[in-house]
Amino acid sequence: MYAPENTDANLYTDGAVKGSEISYPVHVHFIELAKMYMHRIRWHWHPEIEVLLITSGEITLAIDNKETHLKEGQGIIINQNVMHSVQPAGQRTDCCLYSAMFDPSFLFGYGNTLLSGKYLSPVLNSPALKILFLDGQDPLSCKLMEHIHDVVSVNMNKPYGYELTTKSLLCQFWVKLLEHITQQAAATGQPHSLSLDEIRVKDAILYIESHYAEQITLEQIAFSVHISKSECCRCFKRVLQFTPIEYLMRYRILKAATLMQDNDPAYRTISDLAFSVGFNNVSYFNKVFKQYIKCTPSEYKKNLKTASEKNAVNIMFV
């Protein structure tokens, strides 16, 4: 089988998740939600195809204000540039899963080739294929999951030539995916389109994550996407279920916790830390930090010193 490997938390520190190196655009990670910030993976998107395989527990995947529940033995395929988040389905946080992400261009090259037009476009441009649920019951689901389990195993163990083996496995996976689209007559030739709300929220998130350390306001966030403050709030509520300012506060706390984990000497005091992530009031920073982390910044810093590196909390923003 394959040995678990901790998720690279830095992979999820921007709204638009940074992908793999072009030389080998494949990411495979073992994720334990109990070790994630707030026990969840925050809203994000990426240009890669992602496949999640649930190994224990039960999760809730949120996409387009809709939720999909997955339990042990199930999986899901997420198309590129689809906003999504992951959290435990119930009170238990001991949920584990594998994430396999790959750039589809890895299969047929990065140019506009005959093969990419014939085999990539039907999947990437399928209006009905934002996600594909894999229950492990029907033959197609079983085969797709089998290929991804093999991809995970090869990339965890990294035997000689694992990159070539991975490409072969992903090509087999892609053929099965194309079979599904053909059978369901889902390939219309029209690109699947993002909703206007989703486009606005993505752009607003990128603005927030570029200016979080400044004294930005709701008006500035709304102006960055050319809409009114009220419409900006409505867009966030419809897509993420919380407001732009709530997202800003959460992101600032994420950055503060990350700086403490990095033990950066430039932020020796809590006040230095608070000001560096956009708070101009230390008491308010302490209050918001405790609201999300369930302890004060000082307590968190102390806990980090006593925690072993193996058990250090990874941070993935909600």
Residue-wise pLDDT for 60-90, tens only, equals 999 877 889 999 999 999 988 888 899 999 8
The per-residue pLDDT for range 294-313, each reduced to its tens digit, is 889 888 888 777 654 434 44
- Tokens at 150, concatenated: 């093999």
- Residue 121 pLDDT > 60, yes or no? yes
3-class secondary structure, 147: helix
- Residue 262 pLDDT > 60, yes or no? yes
**Of 253, 305, 308, 310, residue with least CA distance to 279:** 253
Taking residues 152-179, what's their average pLDDT?
94
pTM (predicted TM-score): 0.66
- For residues 84 and 182, the model is more confident at 84
Taking residues 253-259, what's their average pLDDT?
86
Q: Give percent of the chain above pLDDT 70.
A: 80
**pLDDT the model gives residue 268:** 75
- Residue 155 pLDDT > 60, yes or no? yes
Taking residues 137-166, what's their average pLDDT?
94
Mean pLDDT of the residues in the chain: 81
State the pLDDT confidence band at 198, using cuts at 50, 70 and 90.
confident
Beta bridge partners of 75: 53, 134
**pLDDT the model gives residue 74:** 95
CB 14 within 8 A of CB 86: no
**pLDDT the model gives residue 191:** 44
Of 53-57, 109-113, 237-241, give the lowest mean pLDDT range: 109-113
Taking residues 278-291, what's their average pLDDT?
92
Helices H / strands E in the chain, number of each: 12, 9
State the pLDDT confidence band at 261, using cuts at 50, 70 and 90.
confident
- Tokens at 175, concatenated: 């053929």
- For residues 149 and 203, the model is more confident at 149
Of 118-127, 135-144, 199-208, 261-270, give the lowest mean pLDDT range: 118-127
- Residue 264 pLDDT > 80, yes or no? no
**Of 62, 61, 27, residue with least CA distance to 46:** 27
- Residue 125 pLDDT > 90, yes or no? no
Exposed / middle / buried, residue 202 (Cβ in 10 Å: 0-12, 13-18, 19+): buried
Exposed / middle / buried, residue 14 (Cβ in 10 Å: 0-12, 13-18, 19+): middle
Q: How many residues does the chain have?
A: 318
Taking residues 202-224, what's their average pLDDT?
92
- Residue 137 pLDDT > 70, yes or no? yes
